[in-house]
Amino acid sequence: MSVQRTSVSRTTSLTGAAVFGALAAVITFLIQIPWPVPGFTFLQLDLAEIVDVLAFLLFGPAVGLFTTLIHYLVLNFLPTPSPIFGPLLKLFGVTSMLLGMWLGYGAYARILKRRGGVITGFGIMSGTGAALRAIILTPINYVFLIFVFFPNTVFSTSYLS
């Protein structure tokens, strides 16, 4: 994974974000795969996250985040059991994963430089993306579960009192 700095015009970046955002919207509307986990019937596999990551890898972090924002806005128009909080948690998840991938790329480019190959670079980016997503979303999920989805349980009412 050689680090080559190329200048991408603003028009190309904006066009890439619009195209990948539209592709994420189409995939979100057309392909919804239920994820059969007992007790968590609301889980669905959203293949549009792949489009968000591809926009990040092809155009950089700004376009990846803009595509993720377009994906979030589209998710708000889908009928879901939790219309506001589901897309918001998805936004937090994808954004934290892209941030982790960006940090992983920075670590790879500074520390390993040319000792590792493309597979090493993508492995580090994927690992840091998954780790940062888990680290950031764990407390956010607990807060949402306790105070938003189950506000009248014993723990949340005793904690709020």
Asked if 99 contacts 130 with a C-beta cutoff of 8 angstroms, the reply is: no
Residue 1 clears pLDDT 60, i.e. is over it: no
Q: Are 48 and 27 in contact (CB under 8 A)?
A: yes
Query: Which of 138, 63, 62 lies closest to 93 in space, CA to CA?
Result: 138
State which residues form the domain around 109.
Answer: 84-161
Residue where a domain stops, chosen among 53, 81, 109: 81
Contacts of 83 (CB under 8 A, 6+ apart): 76
What is the pTM assigned to this prediction? 0.80
Averaged pLDDT for residues 135-151: 83
Average pLDDT over residues 60-80: 88
Count of domains observed in the chain: 2
Q: How far is Cα 14 from Cα 11, in angstroms, rounded to an integer?
A: 5
Same domain, 114 and 57: no
- Whichever domain contains 68, its CATH number is 1.10.1760.20
Q: Which residues pair with 44 in a beta bridge?
A: 34
Residue that terminates a domain, selected from 48, 81, 114:
81
Length of the chain: 161
Mean pLDDT of 20-42: 78
91 and 156 part of one domain: yes
Determine the pLDDT at residue 54.
Answer: 93
Q: Which of 5-14, 16-25, 28-37, 139-148: highest mean pLDDT? A: 16-25
Q: How far is CA 113 from CA 30, 72, 108, 128, 161, in A?
A: 41, 34, 6, 17, 53
**Residue 42: is its pLDDT beyond 70?**
no
Cα separation, 17 vs 130, in Å, equals 23
C-alpha span between 88 and 24 (Å, rounded): 16
> What is d(CA 21, CA 64) in angstroms, rounded to the nearest whole number?
9
Q: Would you call 36 helix, strand, or coil by DSSP?
A: coil
